[in-house]
Amino acid sequence: MYGAIILVAAIAAVGAPTADAPQAPRVAAGPWRLTQVGGKVGCTVNLTDHTAPGGQDVKFPSVCRRAFPALKDLAAWSVDPQGSLVFANARGQRIVALAGSPGGSYEAKTADGTVLHLESAPSAPSPTPPAGLSGAFSLTGSGGTVLCDLVLRANVFGESGRVISRSCAAGWTDKDFAVWSLRQGRLTLMDRSRRPILVLKAGDTGIFVSVESKADPITLVRRRPPHGLSLDAHEALRDRQAGQRHPLA
């Protein structure tokens, strides 16, 4: 009798989960924010619950595929037994596995050395207001390299404006960005004669990506205003500095 009780207790102990057993992270379908660690490029990845080869279907905009070349063939997602979030192509072949962290985010290094960071973005992005292109932005190239820092001012309708400040790296100092125009989702940066220098297509909220498909993607992303100044204060400072460099005769 006692032997039977001991045997039943042992079986129950083996089958019961322990409080210390690690639990695999739960990945919820929906929008997730993908960024490059150390860079300034970001996109929204929509993880759906629709079945696809290699897991569930992924919605990933074409401009984001260009901004993240390692994920250009991304088509599906799944969670492996270790709790990592796996991205796969349309044939179900693994592209990269992102390891989970205690905060609920995921990170991985791709074959080209890019470190990806993924975190939940449950709130839908709000539409860009008419004056949404007033502010400080950075033009970034491959790997998140900053090509130019720009400060843009929009007109009252938000469809055009001026570049009130620019600071560019070597190789881009000859780009005389002076004015800009936004038409049908395309942002054109022009010189003082209104000749186009760079054309970008609206992607995820807050970013624009170059439309030239054969070149490395160039991305325009928002940054903090320089020195924490407002646009008006920054423009006044720029005018004072220009006056000091070129005083009136």
The residue that leads in pLDDT, 224 or 202, is 202
pLDDT at 109: 86
Q: Is the dihedral of CA 31, 185, 194, 143 positive or negative?
A: positive
The helix (H) or strand (E) run that includes residue 5 is helix 2-15
Strand intervals (E) in the chain: 30-36, 42-52, 55-59, 76-79, 85-88, 94-100, 106-109, 115-120, 135-140, 146-154, 160-168, 179-183, 186-190, 196-202, 207-210, 219-223
pLDDT at 118: 86
Q: Is the pLDDT reported for residue 34 higher than 60?
A: yes
pLDDT at 22: 43
pLDDT per position as a tens digit, 5-19: 443 444 444 444 444
The residue that leads in pLDDT, 70 or 231, is 70
Mean pLDDT of 22-42: 70
76: confidence class by pLDDT, cuts 50, 70, 90: very high
pLDDT per position as a tens digit, 101-112: 766 888 888 888
214: confidence class by pLDDT, cuts 50, 70, 90: low
240: confidence class by pLDDT, cuts 50, 70, 90: low
Domains in the chain, CATH or no CATH each: 27-120 (2.40.128.10), 135-245 (2.40.128.10)
Residues with Cβ within 8 Å of 128's Cβ and at least 6 positions away in sequence, in order, are 205, 206
The residue that leads in pLDDT, 237 or 158, is 158
Mean pLDDT of 79-108: 87
pLDDT at 233: 53
